[in-house]
Structure 1
Amino acid sequence: MNPKVSIVMLCWNRKDDVRESLSRIRDIEYRDYELLVVDNGSTDGTQEMVEADFPEAKLIRMSHNVGIEAYNVGFEKALGEYLVIIDDDSFPASRAISRMVEKFERDPKLGVVAFDVRNFFHYDDIKNLEEKTEDSNRSADSDKYVMSYNGAGVGIRRELFRQVGYYPEEFFLYNNELDSAFRIWDAGYKIEFYADIVAYHKYSPKNRASWRAPYFYTRNAFWLVWKNYPIGEALTTTGQLMYRCFYATFEQRTNVYLKAMFDAFRKINVLSGKRKAVQPYIVENLRVPLDVFFTFYR
């Protein structure tokens, strides 16, 4: 008997994208899965569309937008041995889940299967490439790479995720994958990327970034460090982050970085009881792209 897989999607006011993603999920060849759609209080008819057009989906209605915390509601209600996490504009390729299950079943210390998340707008070219890599077993060597994952397409052992704690609800948006990656590695499990396990994501041709992206990436960078880094590295990196905030403020002529920094300190109490420093080698080897968080207005 195949292990059950729970696909968890979080959506908010993107009805057309949700419809397309759910339609594509019907093409998945792996049959023993459930589909959970967590709606973050959409007002564009998303909930009604899911109920009418996709009765196979379990719709979970949030009363308002609580950010990534809503994912955790879906994770807790999931029944599968493995979780597949997607966005409202992403979906796994037809063979992705069966391949993912094979990797998990072969290696009990494999905690996360990071999908190769590709641009949906190149769907036909990528699908042809995927066909050619059907028998591939390519992964990044976990003895050399300590990696995170892309939350638009990833598989996680449900009990492991529950054990280390789901997404950090205090983050609201962004950097949640990095936070969980620290805890998964620290628990003694691996995160591996496989080129033959594909998900498609609608990377917008236009920059969707508003104040929200630089604000939450920056604020959450401080919290990520304070929650997970050993004290010495945390102090050093905090100083580096503060410097970057001031530099980016003058360079890009915006106060969003300073606001994010001040809010990180002002609301530090939300981290109460959540700090657990990981092993130093994880901090040394898990790449956290701090420089990228300060480039939104260049």
Structure 2
Amino acid sequence: MKLSFVILNYNREKELLTTIQKTKQLMADKDDYEIIVVDNASPDNSVAAVKKQFPDVIIVERKVNNGVAGWNDGFEVAKGKYLIVLDDDSNIEDGLDCAIEVLDTNLDVGIVALNIVNGAFTTHYLYHLRDSIDFIGCGAIIRKEVYNKIGGFAEWLFIYTHEWEYAIRCLDAGYKIRYFENCHVNHRTSSINRTSERLKVFSIRNEMAIVYKFFNKKDRLRYVTRVYLNHLKTIPTNGLKVIPWHIAALREFLKMRKSIENTPVNKAVQDFYSVSCWATRRFYKIV
């Protein structure tokens, strides 16, 4: 089997059904694929609805919501050569065949970042890049070989920025990440389970945790400081309401850092990450 669509769902029955339907429409003339839904212990009727409307879809039911790591359960049972990663509210519109060709013809490419054309996060800023350290989990293709080699998404991050953590490990394993702008993903961005506060707190906390884990000990404190200060710079734009969120993020990071094992990756990967991510760039001339 060539393609495994792996959809992570939590409590978004209507959006999930739409994603499955649109995926089936996209693949109407093909049969060498499977659709896997990982349900992260949804309290709604998601699982029953999928079983009723799409009995051929493989469902992995989790008893506990473990965030983005739920995708790993789908990756593990997937039979496809390529894992197509989707959110319950995202779907590929077109260009999939060409994106797959990138992987077929470039064996050193481990992940293809797709063009997220709308929603809270888009990838248009990657258009000028051939190689990238960034992809968005609601629309990407991962070579199953990469998963077999480096494992899945980090459960310790729970949600947000897990793509950067995974990208670091992917690059450190010798693979490349390629952005492909001609495969378009519609992220319908359901408001269910999403708040600005949650996004800000988890993003800041996780970005600090990532550099704390993967950068050399002599450098990591400097980069953790950069991440926090660069996020503080956004307060005038976002408003005073976000100040408590920044404080909460720092508090959460300080609590979790004791459990973070420092496993530095290749220095070239550290350098690539530090210049690719805006929050790790120099904070004026201070840090």
Is TM more than 0.5 here? yes
Partner-residue secondary structure (3-state), 1:119 = coil
Contact 1:28–1:95, Cα closer than 8 Å, also in 2: no
Match of 1:225 among 196, 211, 230: 211
* RMSD over equivalenced CA pairs, Å: 2.7
1:268 paired residue among 257, 261, 278: 257
Change in 2 beyond 3 A, CA 1:266/1:205: closer
Alpha-carbon shift at residue 281 of structure 1 (Å): 2.9
Does residue 279 in structure 1 map to residue 278 in structure 2? no
Paired residue type of 2:249:
A
1:252 to 240, 259, 270: 240
Whole-angstrom CA distance in 2 between matches of 1:99 and 1:146: 18
Letter of the 1:52 partner, please give it. Answer: K
Instruction: Write out aligned runs for 1:1-298 (5 A).
Output: 3-29=1-27, 30-96=30-96, 98-119=97-118, 142=130, 145-203=131-189, 208-243=194-229, 252-253=240-241, 254-272=243-261, 275-286=262-273, 287-290=276-279
Task: Please report how far the alpha carbon of residue 117 of structure 1 lies from its aligned counterpart in structure 2 after TM superposition.
Answer: 1.4
The Cα shift of 1:249 comes to: 7.6
Q: CA deviation at 1:19?
A: 1.0
**Unmatched segments (≥5 aa) in structure 2:** 120-126, 281-287
Cα pair 1:146 1:282 within 8 Å, conserved: no
Question: What's the TM-score, normalizing by structure 1?
Answer: 0.81
Task: Determine the C-alpha separation between the residues in 2 that align with 1:146 and 1:95.
Answer: 19
Contact map agreement 2:9 2:88 (CA 8 A) in 1: yes
Q: Over residues 95-136 of structure 1, what are the superposed CA-to-partner deviations in whole Å (9 max), with x where a residue is unaligned?
A: 41x22322111111011111111228xxxxxxxxxxxxxxxx
Size of the aligned set, in residue pairs, is 267
Sort the Cα spacing of 1:232 and 1:70 in 2 relative to 1 into closer, same or farther, 3 A.
same
TM-score normalized with structure 2 length: 0.84
Assess if the C-alpha contact under 8 Å between 2:133 and 2:168 holds in 1. no
**Which ranges in structure 1 are unaligned for 5 or more consecutive residues?**
121-138, 292-298
Letter in 2 for 1:84: I
